[in-house]
Amino acid sequence: MTTQQLDLFANGAQGQKPLSIEEFAAEVESFTDFGKATQVLEFPASGFQIPVYVNEFWTSKQRAAHSIHEVSYRACFKPQLPRFFISRLTRRGDSVYDPFMGRGTTVVEAALLGRRPLGCDINPLSRILVLPRLSPPTAAEVAERLMTLDLERPIETRDDLLVFYHPKTLLQIANLRHYLLIREGEGSLDRLDAWIRMVATNRLTGHSPGFFSVYTFPPNQAVTVEAQRKINERRKQVPPERDVKRVILRKTSSLLGKLRESDLQVVRDAACAPLILTGSSDHTPDIPNDSVSLVVTSPPFLDTVDYEADNWLRCWFNGIDASKVGIWQLRKSGDWQAAMTGTLRELHRVLVPGGYVAFEVGEVRNGLVLLETLVAPAARDAGLVPLMVLLNDQVFTKTSNCWGVDNLKKGTNTNRVVLIGKH
């Protein structure tokens, strides 16, 4: 069963020649793996004669993704999306990059497929969530390290956090936080500490006993203290005692559950020198010119995200000042397109000639804005070539509904990927 789920080298074997754009287009057009024929539409904006392919290319009927991906993060795409492009457009040893890394789906999937992972994100939490999974420990190593930690020592805690945590649980969290911040400050935080920090950051709040907190939602961001107080009152709940070490070990076992020794060796070989940056996607001087074979990414959508409100608890745990994280706040289409043009210019610099960008977007504002119509001119202005759009239709949608009505109206049922090339 594990082998079926994790056929890591299908379409990606050592030495396999990547598909040409003509071969890739032919495969997409004839794709029937999940029982549907590809529909070919015209691009929904003037000035671009590029095909739009509609089919179910990945996800809902595909084998389960690797367990190591299961780290909650806002608006992340499924691992099958980057796998679709990585396995067809690169070979083992090629560099695969995500300039809006998030939880690291592209980066981790690239490593699992034997590609060199590169990633960047303005959010410092992203690096905390990604790097440990490129050098995963064993569950036994994590258990041994946790046994050495005294999480019951008297230590100052934040009383306002008692709306989320039982007092004994909060004491353990505060001790773990203190230990990790001291280790980081001393420069002695090692791969086991980094793994424990990653898992703990991911377990701070959620909706099941697998988290440190009482019931709250969603699991990838924290509500305010006042909002949690209202949740507790409405549900007539009080925070139960959780064993922090036990929760960390349980999540560790889950993340590593499908990681075979052969997979581990592939990841370690591919990620022996990972380049994981914290910074802006439009300025990445650490990445050499003409060095990246493929970019698979999903940018921040045209919307307002209150980073400080969403991530205040994760930032507190990791000693990060959330108010100083320069997340883009892009409300206007013109501003969003200009920001994407800047990023795409930087991608033009780092891409090898003949390299590709798979740029995943969605429709926003009830389907009235299709971001692919902004990405295509941005790519052209950056010196890149828009080649096609893949619209991954995860439900049996009528062709007439593909541009923002009925079940696609909210932008939740599809991935829309603009494939862009560098001559």
3-state secondary structure 316-331: HHCCCCHHHCCCCCEC
pLDDT given at position 363: 60
pLDDT given at position 412: 42
Residues ≥6 apart with Cβ < 8 Å to 342: 282
List pLDDT tens digits, range 180-204: 999 999 999 999 999 999 999 999 9
Specify whether the CB–CB gap between 305 and 367 falls below 8 A.
Answer: no
Q: Are strands 39-42 and 369-370 parallel, antiparallel or unpaired?
A: unpaired
pLDDT given at position 394: 65
Tell me the mean pLDDT in the region 395-423. 61
Q: Phi and psi at residue 204, in whole multiples of 5°?
A: -60, -50
Tell me the mean pLDDT in the region 52-75. 82
pLDDT given at position 267: 84
pLDDT given at position 410: 43
The answer on pLDDT for 124 being more than 90 is yes
Residue 289 CA to residue 308 CA, distance in Å, equals 34
**What is the share, in percent, of the chain residues with pLDDT greater than 70?**
88
Q: How would residue 396 be classed by pLDDT, with cut points 50, 70 and 90?
A: very low
Helices 372-381/333-350 angle, 10° precision: 50
Specify whether the CB–CB gap between 121 and 327 falls below 8 A.
Answer: no
pLDDT given at position 309: 81
**What is the share, in percent, of the chain residues with pLDDT greater than 90?**
70
Tell me the mean pLDDT in the region 148-175. 98
- Which has the minimum average pLDDT: 167-181, 205-219, 229-243, 261-275? 261-275
Residue 276 CA to residue 40 CA, distance in Å, equals 37
List pLDDT tens digits, range 373-391: 999 999 999 999 999 999 9
- Domains, the chain, with CATH or none: 2-124+274-298+330-421 (3.40.50.150), 139-255 (no CATH)
- Which has the minimum average pLDDT: 40-49, 236-245, 319-328, 352-361? 319-328
CA-wise closest residue to 206 among 178, 177, 228: 228
pLDDT given at position 5: 30
Half-sphere exposure of 316 (CA within 13 A, CB side): 17
pLDDT given at position 308: 77
pLDDT given at position 77: 84
List pLDDT tens digits, range 298-336: 998 776 667 778 889 999 999 999 888 888 878 788 999
- DSSP conformation letters of 143-202: HHHHHT----S-----GGGGGTS-HHHHHHHHHHHHHHHHHHHHT---HHHHHHHHHHHH
Which token pair is 284? 């990445």
Which token pair is 156? 């100052």
What average pLDDT is seen over the chain?
88
Tell me the mean pLDDT in the region 163-182. 98
Cα angle 221-226-229, degrees, rounded to a multiple of 5? 95
Tell me the mean pLDDT in the region 357-381. 83
pLDDT given at position 133: 94
List pLDDT tens digits, range 219-264: 778 999 999 999 999 999 999 999 999 999 999 999 998 888 887 7
pLDDT given at position 270: 79
